[in-house]
Structure 1
């Protein structure tokens, strides 16, 4: 990572996103692979893209795999449709998709609680042809309110993420300010204050945002950070983002949460994609 990786990494708590790393392995083998690479914490997109309510046996098997590996699940997405794929969430998509999201809310909360996971990410969803954006935004607020209340029952944070316009042209939250505006709306609607911004430095850089300014403005509203280098969405050091400097700035701004490694390993096995990170910096609680 550009900018003194050892000193910066030592001040951070990193987890591994098992939906983008270790994908050469079956899902149930990935927690152990992350542990073998020296990590003690992992996060996941919703693993069952075709089912917001999977069989209990599938949930139990994943729970056992995480527990047996000795890693902590620190972040989990709500159902978001086909991801990776054309979808970017379902909660603002009228009809069956919004109903799928609602059916998933309690499932996610129960599963997260069983593993002590305290951060739940709700992707907003794409704009739909022929549907008034205001109608989608009203539906989104209703569903995000449900999600925030469910998260609160297990002591969790609801995360709202900005994606990037080049890769997600129909996703409406393509700036930090747009995502934070939704955070504020949800907190106002619920009065709970448990909605937070998910600051993904890769997505924001793809949108051309001034990342130091974003950090200075929104660190206090940030509940989770994710990183990948740009261009390429690879490991730190494969692109030109000054990620060490940016994470250092976040720390100085008071951010003490997890930093999710949500990057592509390239043409190497995932275990070889962590050479930039000293072994002693991978184990954190």
Structure 2
């Protein structure tokens, strides 16, 4: 087995960024991919105008690719923010305003996975208060995802790059997954297993795979250190993805890595075109 036995989706918020957003789906198709995913494309607007939504929808449809994953509004990405749903006040309100907008947009393209980034800790606010707010908002998000037949993804980030983010281990993120499922009874909350973030946290990746593959709704990769393409760091990504398949994960692998000094299709030289 190996990369040739996997199925990939390209994150257009970190790759092909030398192009305007509306040109990236076609660029992914030209590079041989049939599936793409996105962070929330309007970091300053949880509720963009219909014309902006329609234009992106048309770009995806015209390119002939599938949208397989979409973030809910999460603030400025890339940038200082790590989500909005646990942030008291305006940011939480912006998240709530976005929930149905994001779900409706995803549903219009047949997208079956919505990612909800938890949000940073806030100075002077009781973490328990933030966690209660987070659960309330994640329940809303899970119900919106269920309405379109999608899963709600909850992700662990890494502590060195996101020191204020509370979910910096696989068990922490899966613990939230379990709380959301218990609160909704829907069973559609799932773990987003990002092997780069988990590696940066120093986790035992084979053990994480063996323990949590059954709760995993999506997987993303980048090499570590550096968050570059596979082969630029030291992670045995082919072996890890093989282990995931053997553990029962049969979903897509999201390519969420920094392109370095390469652009266009050259960013994917590590992956034979026939495997895309």
Give the TM-score range, shorter chain: over 0.9
1:120 aligns to what SS in structure 2?
strand
- Runs (4 or more) in structure 1 with deviation over 6 Å come to none
Matched residue SS, 2:8: strand
Structure 1 residue 22 corresponds to structure 2 residue 38 = no
1:158 counterpart = 2:155: no
Structure with the bigger RCO (C-alpha within 8 Å, sep 6+) is: 1
| Residues 27 and 264, structure 2, Cα contact 8 Å, conserved in 1 | no
Which residue, out of 140, 144, 169, partners 1:146?
140
Q: Secondary structure at the match of 2:235?
A: coil
1:250 to 244, 250, 253: 244
2:219 paired residue number: 225
Whether 2:118 is the aligned partner of 1:134: answer no
Q: Provide the residue aligned with 2:59 in structure 1.
A: 65
- In 2, Cα distance between equivalents of 1:162 and 1:221: 13
Tell me how far apart the structure 2 counterparts of residues 270 and 43 of structure 1 sit (CA, whole Å).
17
State the SS of the aligned residue for 1:10. helix
Partner in structure 2 of residue 189 of structure 1: 183
Give the TM-score normalised by structure 2: 0.99
Among candidates 6, 10, 13, match of residue 12 of structure 1: 6
Q: Which of 251, 258, 262 is the equivalent residue of 1:268?
A: 262
CA apart distance, 1:270: 3.6
1:82 is aligned to 2:111 = no
Aligned to 1:111: 105
- Report the Cα distance in structure 2 between the residues aligned to 1:178 and 1:250, rounded to whole angstroms: 20
Contiguous gaps of at least 5 residues in structure 1: 1-6
Aligned to 1:224, the other structure's residue is in SS state: strand
Q: TM-score, normalised by structure 1?
A: 0.96
Structure 2 unaligned spans of 5+: none
How many pairs were matched up? 276
Equivalent residue number for residue 278 of structure 1? 272
